[in-house]
Amino acid sequence: MPTFYLDDQPVDFKQGETLLQAADRAGIYIPRYCYHPGLKITAQCRMCLVEITDMGNGRGMPRLQASCATPAAENMRISITSEKALNAQKTVNEFQLVNHPLDCPICDQAGECDLQDISFLYGTGRSEMNYEKRVSGNRDVGTFLMLERNRCIQCSRCERFSRDLVGTHDFAVFNRSHEVSFDTYGDHRIVHRFQGNLADLCPVGAITQRDWRFRKRAWKLKKTPGVCTTCSTGCNITLDSHQNHIYRISPRENLQVNRWWLCDEGRINFRGLNYHPGSSGPGAGPGKKTPRLEEPQLKARGKARDGGWDGVLEALAPLLKEVAAAKGSVAALADTHATNEELFLLKTLLAEGFGSDKLFFPLQKGKAELRAPAGLEDTFLYSLINTDKSPNTAGAQALGLKGLDGPDALKGALGGKVKIMLVLGSPWEDDPIAGDISTLADLVIYLGVGGNAWSKTADVVLPGFTHAEKYGSFVNRNNLVQRIRPAISPPPQARDQVRTLCSLLGALDREANHADGRDVLAALGAAEGPFKGLNWEALGDGGMPLPGKG
């Protein structure tokens, strides 16, 4: 690999890479505002100026150069700490602040603001600009966004995203000189489904998400890496929480999956993850409030019996044993929000406990939901949102579950009334089948997190964890295995689905004692099968291809 020298330190670069890109890969930070790896380079903020003392041919360059736009060359020597470079960083940053309101105490970006961070590192700490600053007020620019124009530092990231990646170009640049404004035109409000990315891209607090404004100081947040569950793409996310409350979901860089982006559905998903006793639960989006399942229940002829987990499991065990001994027919229906680990244990329960292979899931046909506007060069963003609205269809398929097109197919596949029906998650929860299930099964056991038609009709209700509360893994539509971990703790009476399934196996005298999803994955990885060789630690935060499929 060719090499250049940054303050005498060798830095390898790939042909065509710019100085800043190569430095980034080498872990050397050069300050920048306008540069973003996912956007076209404009070199306009001038924060990344470096001194080039040798272009690789023995000659230096008289002017400082923007390192984001200058191609690296063999044996080039550059400096970001020379007097000239330091002075440029100091003065350019001073210019950035000339018209910035410095309203950090009330700014939602505070704590994760590039302008704050870079000013802290490179700024002078005092201001000599004692004239009135430019004032242009706040604007409602989108269904998801607010714009505080005074804070804008004109880096143009928003315009480039909206023009080159979304193609709607509704965020654009108008006017010129110090009146340059990045804004929507007139009273236009953005309606596309990638708005949140504009707030992420904004290096300051000019563009903010409505959901996030005035909710929490950024530095208080605990950041938990996770995977988005709103579709089969499996975008990498960070769950931002504080005191057991999730305030925000942001994209996490993964060049194989979502690059730097996340759709707004994925962001809104946090709303349903917060547990307030009796108030909301998964699936509790706007206008659809369903309570979180809090207590295990065993209902007998319409009456709920309260006995806590021990009481319910104790009462359930003889029923299971009876059916197993009589070789009665047992089936299971799981939705593909379930982790691989849960599906695996469910499969084990059916096969080993009841000798059944009637394990089904609702199959959602996956394809890109959106079509990119004509003429857009980079259509990647439009491939993100998939019509398969579950994160683990590929995992269910790898584990050999049978995908069914609809409830009617299930009726056919069951081949008559079964003794026990296990339901995991919320498959076809809006379909009448959930209400009619008693015509298909004598006993319905439901493992889920939110109250729905299943939890109402089931004979046994066993409350579980959401994907923000447990360990586990999903396989996305490109057969990448990705892991999740708890960001917040679950309601006191809920129990990890993995533990519950272990208990059911235990009721049938099968040895199964996994502490959480990590244990199960280790067992899965140790055995022959689609997950051979994998374990939770090895997946890392970037995921690994499904063995044999990748």
Q: What are the E-state strand segments in 90-174? A: 138-140, 145-148, 172-174
Task: Give the nearer residue to another protein in terms of CB position, either 99 or 109.
Answer: 99
Task: Give the residue from 396, 392, 351, 357 showing the smallest Cα distance to 508.
Answer: 351
Query: Which is nearest to 371 in space by CA: 353, 389, 354, 384?
Result: 384
Instruction: Report helix angle 340-348 to 497-507, nearest 10.
Output: 10
Query: Applying CB under 8 A, which part among 65-73, 210-218, 255-263, 419-427 lies near another protein?
Result: 65-73
**Residue 58 burial (10 A CB sphere; 0-12, 13-18, 19+):** exposed
Residues 32/37/38/44 CA torsion (nearest 10 deg): 40
Shortest distance (Å) from residue 166 CB to another protein: 11
Name the residue nearer to another protein (CB basis): 129 or 304.
Answer: 129
Out of 77, 134, 213, 222, which residue is the one contacting another protein (CB under 8 A)?
134
Q: Is 21 in the site for another protein (CB under 8 A)?
A: no
In the range 163-222, which residues lie near another protein by CB under 8 A? 163, 168-170, 172-180, 185
**Least separation in angstroms between CB 51 and another protein:** 11
Half-sphere exposure of 192 (CA within 13 A, CB side): 25
State in angstroms the smallest separation of the CB of 188 from another protein: 9
Residues in contact with another protein, shown as a per-residue x/- string from 137 to 166 under the rule CB under 8 A: ----------------xx--------x---
Is 185 or 380 the residue whose CB approaches another protein more closely? 185
Per rule CB under 8 A, is residue 114 in the interface with another protein?
A: no
Cα distance between residue 484 and residue 472, in whole Å: 5
92 versus 319: smaller Cβ distance to another protein: 92
> Can you tell me which of 10, 131, 302, 326 binds another protein, judged by CB under 8 A?
131
Q: How far is the CB of 172 from another protein (least distance, A)?
A: 4
CB of 249 to another protein, least distance (A): 29
Nearest CA-CA partner of 382 in 396, 363, 391, 369 = 369
> In angstroms, what CA-CA distances link 364 with 58, 268, 307?
62, 21, 38
Distance CA 78, CA 138 (A): 41
> Is residue 453 near another protein by the rule CB under 8 A?
no
67 forms part of the interface with another protein (CB under 8 A): no
Residue 46 within binding range of another protein, rule CB under 8 A: yes
Contact (Cβ atoms closer than 8 angstroms) between residue 461 and residue 296: yes
44 lines the binding site for another protein (CB under 8 A): yes
Nearer to another protein, 51 or 459 (CB): 51
Q: In what order do the strands lie in the sheet with 3-6?
A: 9-12, 3-6, 77-79, 49-54, 65-66
Task: Please select the residue that binds another protein; options are 71, 311, 318, 432, rule is CB under 8 A.
Answer: 71
> Residue 358, Cα to own-chain centre: how many angstroms?
32
Residue 49 binds to another protein (criterion: CB under 8 A): yes
Gap between the Cα atoms of 204 and 218, Å rounded: 13
Q: Hey, which residues between 338 and 377 contact another protein (CB under 8 A)?
A: 375
Position 92 contacts another protein (CB under 8 A): yes
Q: Which residues bind another protein (CB under 8 A)?
A: 33, 41-47, 49, 62-64, 66, 69, 71, 88, 91-92, 94-96, 98-99, 128-129, 131, 134, 153-154, 163, 168-170, 172-180, 185, 375
